[in-house]
Structure 1
């Protein structure tokens, strides 16, 4: 069912806001990750790991989940659909993949934050740089797909377009009374 134009604008605005927020939060997290793995000051490293945990649990995870859910609602309520165009499908798969990895990694981030506050030297902790950079790259790919919308209709999309064409022909062929 397609949304009305005002509803579609509200949903799209919410989706863009949560997605951009997610991207911004990942950039902030990456800055903390770089600080945690490169600083020689023990208190700075401890603070960075603690801030990483707070950022992941209270900013990144909620924004990621909201972005996925609102993105699905947006796709289902617009002519783009969820499975009609390859760019929408790839965006969905990348976003779900990134969110899944994020949810798995939250326990690692929490462990690192707890370990950083222990008596051990937190400068020896490994950080999460590969996941930080990987998550950023995936989100940037999603942004590019959103802006450029590469052509390509899925098999499902072709069937739907064909059904719509047939429906229009049938309606126009009916006699006017």
Structure 2
């Protein structure tokens, strides 16, 4: 998996975002039966101020959030609870873009009493699933997405975040 990381906040480098993101992405793709070497993702490692602007621009919510994702193409299924179609390897390996905010992630990890690395790993898995057509707006989709996250995190030796 090629992950192109743009570090706007140096705290992410100190937190080891690169290796965490690679491990989370590889586990996610392998779990879904996709060859990691076939895919690329762009990752913006930013702070709360930057993600608040992105959240306002793209979701009309002018507040910070932990992670945002923009799939390169729409992959969500029409039927609630259906598994999204897997992307086909080929000419366009780009799955999409992810932005992750250090401040919110650190705050959430502290509030939940869990290691920052575990929380960040979960959020990368979560965001990558969004790029692959998973969502949590409809109840049936949320059930599928959360079960998929729990299974992937379990393979990484991480506890159920829900």
| TM-score between the two structures when normalised by the length of structure 1 | 0.25
More strand by share: 2
More helix by share: 1
Q: Give the greater-gyration-radius structure (CA).
A: 1
| TM-score between the two structures when normalised by the length of structure 2 | 0.27
